[in-house]
Amino acid sequence: MSTRVSGPQSPVIESRDELVAYLETGSKPEAQWAIGTEHEKFGFNVKDRSPVPYLGERGIAALLEAHHKRFGWEPIREDGNIIALSCLDCPKGGAISLEPGGQLELSGAPLATIHETEEELRQHLSQVGEVARELGIGFLGLGFSPKWTLDETPLMPKERYRIMMRYMPKRGGHGLDMMFRTATVQVNMDFSDEADMVKKLRVGLALQPVVTALFANSPFTDGKPNGFQSYRAEMWRDTDPDRTGMLPFAFEDGMGFERYVDYALGVPMYFVYRDGRYIDVAGASFRDFMAGKLAALPGVRATMNDWVDHLTTLFPEVRLKRFLEMRGADAGQFRELLALPALWAGLLYDKTALDGASDLIANWTAKERQAMRDAVPRLGLATPFRDRTLRHVAREMLTLAQDGLKRRARLSDSGEDETRALKRLWEILEDGQSPADELLTAYRGPWQGNIDRLFETQAL
């Protein structure tokens, strides 16, 4: 989730057209398209498998401070507390930030190839792992906290999270579980113009349940199997319906930047950031804010920075900012973290593959897309679709992506193309076993029902 940094206020928004123009400025020529990968992980105390608190000699704050001192990443603080690290000028940099329950997130830099993404991922896990080991901290790549209750999960000192905590229970039954106990990996992808954006958005939305099934990796809750492949995805089904979901309007005639702006303007606000602090305006209208009519800030009008903040509080399965965020996958192991950007690059950055994916989903109805989304958290690849299952659809999708990567022909120093990053997904399809299935097999077999074995065998 985004971390705001104090600075000069941007100009006041004068019209809705400026909001549309902001999104449109994300359009880039194909030569400038990049791949940005964001991934979260749960920290745990190696000694007793407990969650890592923010404070203390072996806490999250200590880890961030140690990373800053050793590797030079610049700290970002809120009320004196270190809440993020930034290294925007690093070739494989980006930002390290905290999710509400202490999940550590790398927001990777925009990179040209999957080979660079692999280097960035290895560098990040190496650096974080180095300082974490000295503090007795380990990390898990899973979609849902496997052992700790909501009450046992720590709260990070970020005021925007406190505002969301107060509002979330009013608009869904699992918003707090989503905030504190889920972890994801997502990929940020570029577009060339409005038509390209719409095509990629539609493909991304329609195929997101298939991706959820392939990357399903959250079968445990409170130390026991929960009956789901992706419990993370299930949590999102009961989280603030105003700002989540499959965006059926995106498939209607006339879809474009303006239509997304109208959707975003209809989503209630969470907060306003002024003078280094967050002001709770949860439930207020951004349109009223543009007109200076917020009850909490009478006469104060929205700026473009406020619009950017507001866009980060929308959580559909694919989110539009000045790029597209693919948001459907559980966090996972190294090979899965690398496979997701490879999958989307193959599908969206090759014209033939994108055309093929668009043809694949062309006659899927809104009802069918939603039915997939509703069933996939529990059924995963076995989710029925027409006369087959999502495992069959996933095979078609993966074939398109692999062929797209071959045509991209981005070679590593050793002469390999990007398709090698998809090998893990082919293994999943061949066996019909998602990461969640593999965990459940281990739990019922060699782990003998002991969830602590997961921390020993699945640490990043």
Chain segment 40-94, per-residue pLDDT in tens? 999 999 999 999 999 999 999 999 999 999 999 999 999 999 999 998 777 666 8
| Residue 57 within a domain | yes
Could you tell me the sign of the dihedral formed by the alpha carbons of 97, 116, 204, 402, in that order? Answer: negative
In 265-335, DSSP assigns E strands to: 271-274, 277-280, 315-316, 318-320, 324-330
| Residue 2 within a domain | no
pLDDT digits (tens, 9 = 90+) for 405-460: 999 999 999 999 999 999 999 999 999 999 999 999 999 999 999 999 999 999 99
Q: Would you place residue 342 in the very low, low, confident or very high pLDDT band (cuts 50, 70, 90)? A: very high
| Residue 302 within a domain | no
Cβ partners under 8 Å of residue 253, min gap 6? none
Give me the number of domains the chain comprises: 1
pLDDT for 186: 98
Closest to 349 in 3D by CA, of 396, 390, 406, 393 = 406
| Residue 450 within a domain | yes
Q: 283, 268 in Cβ contact below 8 A?
A: yes
Query: How many CA atoms within 13 Å lie on the side-chain side of 387?
Result: 0
Q: At 104, which CATH number?
A: 3.30.590.20
Tokens linked to 102: 């202490």
Q: In this model, does residue 8 exceed pLDDT 80? A: no
pLDDT for 93: 67
Cβ partners under 8 Å of residue 438, min gap 6? none
| Residue 294 within a domain | no
pLDDT digits (tens, 9 = 90+) for 391-410: 999 999 999 999 999 999 99
Q: In this model, does residue 345 exceed pLDDT 60? A: yes
Closest to 96 in 3D by CA, of 72, 116, 122, 124 = 124
**Residue spans of alpha helices (H) in 291-365:** 304-311, 334-348, 351-361
Domain coverage including residue 243 = 16-267+314-457
pLDDT for 94: 87
User: CA 200, CA 221: separation in Å to the nearest integer?
Assistant: 34
Is 0.85 topped by the overall pTM? yes
pLDDT for 1: 52
SS3 74: strand
pLDDT for 6: 56
Radius of gyration of the chain (CA): 21
The pLDDT of 332-342, averaged and rounded, is 98
| Residue 217 within a domain | yes
| Residue 48 within a domain | yes
CA distance to 70, 73, 184, 386, 453, per residue, from 248 (Å):
47, 41, 23, 19, 42
Q: What are residue 37's DSSP bridge partners?
A: 187
| Residue 31 within a domain | yes
In 67-144, DSSP assigns E strands to: 74-78, 81-87, 94-98, 104-108, 137-140
Q: In this model, does residue 4 exceed pLDDT 70? A: no
